[in-house]
Chains A and B, each alone.
Chain A
Amino acid sequence: MDSFVKALGLYEKNGHLAGMGETYSNIASLYYLMGKVDDAIQYQKSSIEIREKLNDTNGLVITNLNIGQLYILKGVYPLAFNHLQQAIAYAQQVKKPKLLASAYAAMSAYYSRIKNYTEALDWQNKAINLFEESNDKQLLSRLYVSAGNLANVANDSLKSINYYNRALSLATELRNKENIGNAHEKMSTFYVSRHDYEKGYSHYKTYTIYRDSIAEKSNLAKITEIRTQYETEKKDNEITRLHTLETLKELQIDKQNAVIEGNVLEVKQKQIEIEILSKEKQLQDEELEKQSLLTKNREQQLALAEKEKQIRVNELANQKIVRNLLLGGLVLLLFSGFTFFNRFKLKRKIQQQADLLAIRNSISKNLHDEIGSTLTSINILSNVSQKAMLSQPEQAREMLTKIVGQSKAVQEKMSDIVWAIRPENEKIESLVARIREYAAHTLESQDIETIISLDETLLDNELSVETRKELLLICKEAISNIAKHAGASAVSLLFTKKDGQLEVKIADNGRWKGGSTGTGTKSMTDRATQLGGKLSILPGQDGTMILVQLPIP
């Protein structure tokens, strides 16, 4: 079936009407074989249509015959009769005995159907005659079978058997399984109707055998169909391939066209490139111009730079001059500074030497005044006491006592002078220490309580040689006086700083015995004045205070 459909398809594609017509007919036959009568009729109709178009009388005959048979099967007898008559007409037209015979056979079949057995037999005989003439054995066998049927119905059993046997022999001769089978079937039916069951059964058996083998045969046909299908496919593929080749060739042509177009494009591109190059050239020309301008500019700049350099050189020269001047000035300054410094140093040195000289002078003066004179005195006393020893021993003793005292005093003075000169005794602390020692020495023996204090702010103060000597002597004098005359039990010496001046307060709780004009007092006051200070004596009821005020650096 499939192959027929495909064939149909192909025929349709190619507009091959004849093929279509045939195919329709074939499909119809298939449907008939399958038992689908209506479909078969449909297709036969289509076939007729096409064949009528083509004026294919031959085909028409066949088709009409087929339709007719189909309608007989369906039972639509009028239509069947029509078609059959048409078929006969066509057959007579084409003058083909075979077809005619077939038509007669078909007519016979029709009549048999409508149970007009006599007519049927009649037509059958006509058909048989024709077929016997054409010697179409295939159809003959079948016709014999149908003749037999008819005879049977007409209750002419002898004739029917006769016909059946002729059919069978023919069919066997032809080896047409279908016909043989058919013949056997019919014979079987005949015998059964005659109540000859044995023969009927054996014929039926034979029929079934042939039927099955036909089925086989139809399978074989199917296989052949498939093969045909495959070959058709192959032919289809060929066609497709040829089509593809055609398309390829078309594409190549296209490509060449494209190439040509491409070339055209290239040409266009090259044109554009040429334009670009020309533009570049323009640019380069402009660049050259620009560069020449730049060069000019640079030349000018160089000229400027040269001028600047000149200026700078001049500046540098100026700077150099300035620097030299400055250096010169500096050197001068240093020199002068140096000179000044030296002068200063020299001055200082001179000053120092002057100071030293002053000190030496002072010492010599002191020695001369204080010690020299006392020594002279000692000398005199010694002389006199020598003389007075025998005559006036009492006076001699007095004088000797004086000598003792005076020489002692001289010793002390010497010690004091040396002490004052010593540079390690610059600080006021040393003065106080020495005074303390003296106080202890002088007052302790009398059990006089002594307090000596030095203000802390004065600790680092330095005193000149003159100041320390004089102050020492003042204090010594005061202490000595107290020890000798005051009759005190407590003495205090306070060294303080007041209003930028050194104040020494020497106080005792005794009685003041001297006047303001006593030798001791006078010498004390003189010393103070010599130092640029002041000495005041303040006697009181509870005691006496000596206040010394000296300026200090």
Chain B
Amino acid sequence: MNPKVLIYEDNEPLRDSVVTMLEWDNSVAVVAAFTDASSVKKDVLAYTPDVIIMDIEMPHSNGVDAVKELRTVNKEVAVLMFTVFEDDENVFNAICAGANGYILKSNLELLQASILDVLNGGAPMSGTIARKVLGFIPKYETKKDPNLELLSKRENEILDFLVKGYSYKMLAAQLAISIETVRVHIKSIYRKLHVNSATEALYKVSQGK
């Protein structure tokens, strides 16, 4: 059974091309393609997809908000953000909101691989995202909230190298660990991101911000 894919993209040609590509590929099944994510919750409940491809910038809805919303009804579905620039602030926010990764519009030949990867629990991390993560997760426990998770030493190292532009292979070579270990660390980083962003949101709510 092929994984079910739900696509949200407002640019019509692009959307069509993506759908064509995926259908031609036959590794995944596109269940629906929408131009805006206003009714994302309903859609998710209706279609129960395995993977969602979410555009960041859409006219009537914001990709990041959409992720937040759909996470309230579905925590398992893998979400890939569709973006032109990987150093988009929104990508980071989307990841914090619960997205599992991102895919560059300029690298769509990797789409299938990315989908499969994310279905397998993988999580891509680029240098820019890594830099943002480092800025987001505090190094020490702050008075803000003792529940905030801190990065481990190894995770910090990995992020540092990622910021410098190292690939997973390079990382593995540098740190003398396997690529798989690298991926595991990055998954952990993602989790902490999610936790901290959730905690932060709650904290902000509780503080009345």
Chain B hits for A433, CB < 8 A: 127, 163-165
Chain B hits for A412, CB < 8 A: 106
Chain A nearest CB from B88 CB (Å) reads: 11
Contact B165 A444 (CB under 8 A): no
Chain A hits for B106, CB < 8 A: 411-412, 414-415
0/1 string, B154-173, CB within 8 A of A gives 1: 00000000011111011000
Chain B hits for A441, CB < 8 A: 167
The answer, among B85, B87, B163, B167, for a CB contact under 8 Å with A440, is B167
**Is A254 in contact with chain B by the CB < 8 A criterion?**
no
**Is A316 in contact with chain B by the CB < 8 A criterion?**
no
Contact A437 B165 (CB under 8 A): yes
Closest to B107 in A: A411
Chain B hits for A422, CB < 8 A: 87
Chain B hits for A444, CB < 8 A: 167, 169-170
Cα–Cα, bound, A414→B126 (Å): 18
Within 8 A of B (CB), among A466-499: none
**Is A534 in contact with chain B by the CB < 8 A criterion?**
no
Contact A440 B164 (CB under 8 A): no
Cα–Cα, bound, A386→B89 (Å): 40
Contact A436 B166 (CB under 8 A): yes
Chain A nearest CB from B117 CB (Å) reads: 16
Contact B169 A418 (CB under 8 A): no
Closest to B127 in A: A433
**Is A171 in contact with chain B by the CB < 8 A criterion?**
no
Known contacts A412-B106, A437-B127, A432 near B87 by CB under 8 Å: no
0/1 string, B85-126, CB within 8 A of A gives 1: 101000000000000000000100000000000000000001
Contact B167 A437 (CB under 8 A): yes
Chain B hits for A411, CB < 8 A: 106
Closest to A435 in B: B165
Known contacts A412-B106, A414-B106, A415-B106, A436 near B165 by CB under 8 Å: yes
Chain B hits for A424, CB < 8 A: 87
Known contacts A412-B106, A422-B87, A433-B163, A440 near B127 by CB under 8 Å: no
**Is A229 in contact with chain B by the CB < 8 A criterion?**
no
Could you say which of A418, A424, A434, A437 has the most chain B C-beta atoms within 10 Å of its C-beta?
A437
Chain A nearest CB from B162 CB (Å) reads: 9
Cα–Cα, bound, A415→B126 (Å): 15
The answer, among B85, B126, B165, B170, for a CB contact under 8 Å with A432, is B165
Chain A nearest CB from B206 CB (Å) reads: 33
Cα–Cα, bound, A430→B169 (Å): 20
The answer, among A418, A450, A452, for a CB contact under 8 Å with B85, is A418
Chain B hits for A450, CB < 8 A: 170
Cα–Cα, bound, A422→B127 (Å): 15
Chain A hits for B170, CB < 8 A: 436, 440, 444, 450
0/1 string, A416-439, CB within 8 A of B gives 1: 001000101000010011111100
Cα–Cα, bound, A436→B165 (Å): 5
Cα–Cα, bound, A452→B169 (Å): 14
Chain B nearest CB from A125 CB (Å) reads: 172
Cα–Cα, bound, A432→B127 (Å): 12
0/1 string, A434-464, CB within 8 A of B gives 1: 1111001100100000101000000000000
Chain B hits for A434, CB < 8 A: 165
The answer, among A414, A432, A435, A440, for a CB contact under 8 Å with B169, is A440
Within 8 A of A (CB), among B134-181: 163-167, 169-170
28 A/B residue pairs, CB under 8 Å, sorted by A: A412-B106, A414-B106, A415-B85, A418-B85, A422-B87, A424-B87, A429-B164, A432-B165, A433-B127, A433-B163, A433-B164, A433-B165, A436-B164, A436-B166, A436-B167, A436-B170, A437-B126, A437-B127, A437-B165, A440-B165, A440-B166, A440-B167, A440-B169, A440-B170, A444-B167, A444-B169, A450-B170, A452-B165
Given contacts A424-B87, A434-B165, 14 further A-B contacts (CB under 8 A): A414-B106, A415-B85, A415-B106, A429-B164, A432-B164, A433-B127, A433-B163, A436-B164, A436-B170, A437-B126, A437-B167, A440-B165, A440-B170, A450-B170
Binding site for A on B (CB under 8 A): 85, 87, 106, 126-127, 163-167, 169-170
Lowest 8 A-B CB distances belong to which pairs?
A: A436-B165, A433-B165, A440-B167, A411-B106, A437-B165, A444-B169, A433-B164, A433-B127
Binding site for B on A (CB under 8 A): 411-412, 414-415, 418, 422, 424, 429, 432-437, 440-441, 444, 450, 452
